């Protein structure tokens, strides 16, 4: 690994690292915030997955989460959203290719060589973090939009791996909305049965663990009715009795202004679970 950014922040350090990913077959970057407590003890980790068009930079520069991570003694890890580089397949669209990895394991050409973000964020990256940083194996996961989808899928399909999960404006049913249908057709093919493994609504129906879900959604979000549709997850949660707290926040949109307004509550929520 190579550290490419190192900045003091709320008594700790906001760093960015570059490494060669064997899962994605390319060079990747991820951000790590080490709060001041990390100088003397191992700490639990909250993983953050960002949304369409983002990199690791969006969360660390816009959300303001470091302040709360320092208060609660939690390490923050934020990877990039997709593989990148001159040899990585891309598309002439913001919602497919680089910046739109959708946290799946692609099975179709030309995507399958690099686009395995599900394995990267649930396996390779945590192993790397736990080997090289002062952290425990106690994990939580959160994210926004496409990253909220990724966080929910990671938690629902890996019982016991995370202590808590939350999301801002997640794409809860990608199999039923345009963003997801476009990405899943490209990455996974036409067989919709293969899509179920990366769809939170479908995963919740057979989840082996009743890990509570916390979701914040702005009611002024421009994508609410067309792409996000949290009511689909809420209906499934009620049908299978899966604990879900869906908070509709009046006046808030899809931006990082929304995330910054409630990220402190989410970090506190995860800190309670991580330290229970």
DSSP state of 96: S
Cβ density class 162-187: b for 16+ within 10 Å, e for less: bbbbbbbbbbbbbbbbebbebbbebb
Residues marked as catalytic: 145, 221, 254
Token pair 């425990």 is found at 136
Question: Cα-Cα-Cα-Cα dihedral of 56, 222, 172, 167, to 10°?
Answer: 50
CB 84 within 8 A of CB 57: no
State the Cα–Cα distance between residues 82 and 228, nearest whole angstrom.
20
CA-nearest of 3, 1, 4 to 19 is 1
CB proximity list for 15: less than 8 A, separation 6 or greater: 3, 5, 6, 7, 31, 32, 33, 34
CB 214 within 8 A of CB 165: yes
Sheet holding 12-21, edge to edge: 2-9, 12-21, 26-34, 75-79, 43-49, 135-143, 164-168, 213-218, 244-249
């Amino acid at each position: 690994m190579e550290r490419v950014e190192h900045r003091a922040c709320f008594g700790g350090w906001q760093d960015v690292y570059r490494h060669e990913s064997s899962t994605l077959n390319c060079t990747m970057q991820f951000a790590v915030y080490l709060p001041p407590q990390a100088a003397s003890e191992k700490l639990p980790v909250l993983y953050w997955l960002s949304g369409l068009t983002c990199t690791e930079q969006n969360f660390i520069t816009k959300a303001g989460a470091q302040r709360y991570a320092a208060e609660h003694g939690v390490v923050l890890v934020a990877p990039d959203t997709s593989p990148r580089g001159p040899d990585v397949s891309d598309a002439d669209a913001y919602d497919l290719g680089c910046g739109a990895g959708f946290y799946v394991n692609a099975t179709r050409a030309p995507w399958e060589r690099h686009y395995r973000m599900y394995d990267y964020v649930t396996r390779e990256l945590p192993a790397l973090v736990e080997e090289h940083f002062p952290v425990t194996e106690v994990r939580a996961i959160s994210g926004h939009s496409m990253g909220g989808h990724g966080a929910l899928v990671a938690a629902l399909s890996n019982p016991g791996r995370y202590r808590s999960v939350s999301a801002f404006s997640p794409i809860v049913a990608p199999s039923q909305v345009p963003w997801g249908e476009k990405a899943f057709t490209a990455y996974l093919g036409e067989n919709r049965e293969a899509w179920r493994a990366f769809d939170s609504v479908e995963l919740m129906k057979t989840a082996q663990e009743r890990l509570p879900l916390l979701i914040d959604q702005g009611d002024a979000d421009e994508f609410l009715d067309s792409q996000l549709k949290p009511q689909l997850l809420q209906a499934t949660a009620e049908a299978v009795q899966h604990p879900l707290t869906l908070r509709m926040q009046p006046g808030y949109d899809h931006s990082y202004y929304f995330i910054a307004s409630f990220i402190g509550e989410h970090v506190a929520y995860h800190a309670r679970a991580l330290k229970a």
